[in-house]
Amino acid sequence: MIAFVKGPVAQVTLSSAVLEVGGVGLELICTPGTLATLRTGQVATLPTSMVVREDSMTLFGFLDDDEKAVFELVQTAGGVGPKLAQAMLAVLSPDDLRTAVAAQDVKTLTKVPGIGQKVAQRIILELGDRLGPATGVVRSGGPAPVDAWRDQVHQGLTGLGWPAREAERAVDAVADQAGDRPDVGALMRAALQTLSRA
């Protein structure tokens, strides 16, 4: 339906971005890692996937075509809808997901909020070889200003449903990994892993 959206970024919220296309603001639901790459006023091009339900039409935006393809493919597994597919990509990069499925690594898959043992096993069984081998592409949410990453990761965690206090603890737990050029996507994944171990 809508393969991609290109336009100036009008707004970035906790879970979505609004891109202006032909005088119309289109809201795209995105992972925290994708949102971290967007800046208000800058032109962005995001591959998209539209999910149509009886009572809604939702547009999901992605960092690249690979992320979009994985999002659409994981939904073919029983019990995986668009929200859970997006949560998977918020916690695991497409290659991390491919590696976990290929290695039948239930523990890694259950780090995703909403995925328990049974759903993880179903994903491994049903997706098996269909995700393909890891591509070796290293993704980066891009460097964030030194303090801005804390807010972005915190907002991303609360946007995924974690309580603010737990999100704050997770941000503190990964602060030593930030360095001079914080990678919000990597810090987000590290924070989620901290929360899943708690």
Q: What CATH number is given to the structural domain containing 13?
A: 2.40.50.140
pLDDT above 70 covers a percentage of the chain that reads 93
Q: Would you state the pLDDT for residue 18?
A: 95
Q: Which residues of 93-116 are buried (b: 16+ CB within 10 A; e: fewer)?
A: bbbbbbbbbbeeebebbbbbbebe
Q: Confirm whether 139 is domain-assigned.
A: no
Structural domain containing residue 116: 65-131
Q: Would you state the pLDDT for residue 142?
A: 44
Q: Would you state the pLDDT for residue 157?
A: 80
Answer yes or no: do 188 and 172 share one domain.
yes
Q: Would you state the pLDDT for residue 20?
A: 96
The span from the first CA to the last CA of the chain, in angstroms, equals 41
Query: Which portions of the chain are predicted below pLDDT 70?
Result: 136-148, 198
Whether 188 contacts 156, CB under 8 Å? yes
Distance CA 61, CA 28 (A): 5
Whether 181 contacts 145, CB under 8 Å? no
Q: Tell me how many domains the chain contains.
A: 3
Give SS3 for 147: coil
Answer yes or no: do 55 and 76 share one domain.
no
Q: Confirm whether 115 is domain-assigned.
A: yes
Residues in the chain, overall count:
198
Q: Would you state the pLDDT for residue 128?
A: 82
Q: Would you state the pLDDT for residue 137?
A: 60
Which strand (E) or helix (H) includes residue 111? none
Q: What CATH number is given to the structural domain containing 113?
A: 1.10.150.20
Q: Confirm whether 142 is domain-assigned.
A: no
Q: Confirm whether 143 is domain-assigned.
A: no
